[in-house]
Amino acid sequence: MLKTLKPYWIYIFSFVFIILNSYLVVKEFYYLALVPCALALVFMAFFRLDKLMWFIVFSTPLSINLEELDIGGIGMYIPTEPLMFGVMLLFFFKLILEKKFDSNIIKHPITLAILANLVWITITSITSEMPVVSLKFLLARVWFVVCFYFIATQLFRDKKNYKKFIWAYVISLTGVIFYAIIHLSMYNFDQKPAHWVMNPFYKDHTSYGAVLAMYLPMLFVFFNKRNTPTVKIISIFLIGIFTAGIILSYTRAAWVSLVGALVLYLIYKYRVKFKTLLAIGVGCLVLLAFSWNALVLNLEDNSQESSDKLSEHVESISNVSSDASNLERLNRWSSAWRMFQERPFFGWGPGTYMFQYAPFQMSDEQTIISTNSGNMGNAHSEYIGPLAESGVFGMLTFLIIVITVFYRGSLLYHRLPKGEFKTVVLLALLSLFTYVTHGLLNNYLDTDKVSVPFWGFIAIIVAIDVYHSRDLLDSEAH
The DSSP string of 203-236 is SSHHHHHHHHHHHHHHGGGGGSTTS-HHHHHHHH
pLDDT of residue 451: 95
Angle formed at CA 122 by CA 121 and CA 124, multiple of 5 degrees:
65
- What is the spatial distance between Cα 95 and Cα 441, in angstroms, rounded to a whole number? 38
**Helices 109-126, 384-415: inter-axial angle, 10-degree rounding:** 170
- pLDDT, the chain, mean: 83
**CB within 8 Å of 218: residues ≥ 6 apart:** 166, 170, 427, 428, 431, 457
Quick one: average pLDDT of 295-320?
A: 51
- Report the candidate in 432, 447, 443, 439 with the shortest Cα–Cα distance to residue 215: 432
pLDDT of residue 398: 96
- What is the spatial distance between Cα 348 and Cα 356, in angstroms, rounded to a whole number? 8
Inter-residue contact 101 to 368 (CB < 8 Å): no
Quick one: average pLDDT of 390-415?
A: 95
Model pTM score: 0.87
pLDDT at 30 over 90: no
pLDDT of residue 308: 52
pLDDT at 477 over 60: no
Inter-residue contact 407 to 119 (CB < 8 Å): no
pLDDT at 478 over 60: no
Out of 102-106, 302-306, 469-473, the most confident range is 102-106
Q: Which of 302-306, 366-370, 383-387, 452-456 bottoms out in mean pLDDT, i.e. has the lowest?
A: 302-306
Inter-residue contact 149 to 455 (CB < 8 Å): yes
Cα pseudo-dihedral 207, 330, 437, 399, rounded to 10: -110
**CB within 8 Å of 60: residues ≥ 6 apart:** 80, 169, 172, 448, 449, 452
pLDDT of residue 325: 74
Tell the burial category of 390 from Cβ atoms under 10 Å away from its Cβ (0-12, 13-18, 19+): buried
**CB within 8 Å of 351: residues ≥ 6 apart:** 130, 133, 134, 136, 137, 389, 446
Q: Which residue has the higher pLDDT, 252 or 36?
A: 252
- Report the candidate in 239, 253, 174, 238 with the shortest Cα–Cα distance to residue 207: 253
Side-chain-facing half-sphere of 94: CA atoms under 13 Å = 13
Quick one: average pLDDT of 259-285?
A: 85
pLDDT of residue 47: 63
Question: Could you count the other beta carbons within 10 Å of the beta carbon of residue 327?
Answer: 19
Q: Which of 229-238, 299-308, 371-380, 387-396 bottoms out in mean pLDDT, i.e. has the lowest?
A: 299-308
pLDDT at 393 over 90: yes
28: left (phi over 0), alpha (psi -120 to 50) or beta: left
pLDDT of residue 294: 58
Element holding 436 (H helix, E strand): helix 420-438
pLDDT of residue 32: 59
pLDDT digits (tens, 9 = 90+) for 141-165: 999 999 999 999 999 999 889 999 9
pLDDT above 90 as % of the chain: 48
| Helical residues (DSSP H) of 146-291, grouped into ranges | 152-155, 161-185, 205-218, 229-248, 252-269, 274-290
Element holding 129 (H helix, E strand): none
Inter-residue contact 395 to 386 (CB < 8 Å): yes
Cα pseudo-dihedral 217, 443, 315, 185, rounded to 10: 70
pLDDT at 71 over 70: no
Q: Which of 48-57, 85-94, 356-365, 366-375 bottoms out in mean pLDDT, i.e. has the lowest?
A: 366-375
pLDDT of residue 2: 45
pLDDT digits (tens, 9 = 90+) for 170-213: 999 999 999 999 999 998 888 888 888 998 899 888 999 999 99
Cα pseudo-dihedral 387, 390, 391, 396, rounded to 10: -70
Beta bridge partners of 77: 65
pLDDT at 4 over 60: no
pLDDT of residue 73: 53
Quick one: average pLDDT of 213-227?
A: 87
Of the chain, the end-to-end C-alpha distance in Å amounts to: 50
Q: Which residue has the higher pLDDT, 62 or 369?
A: 62
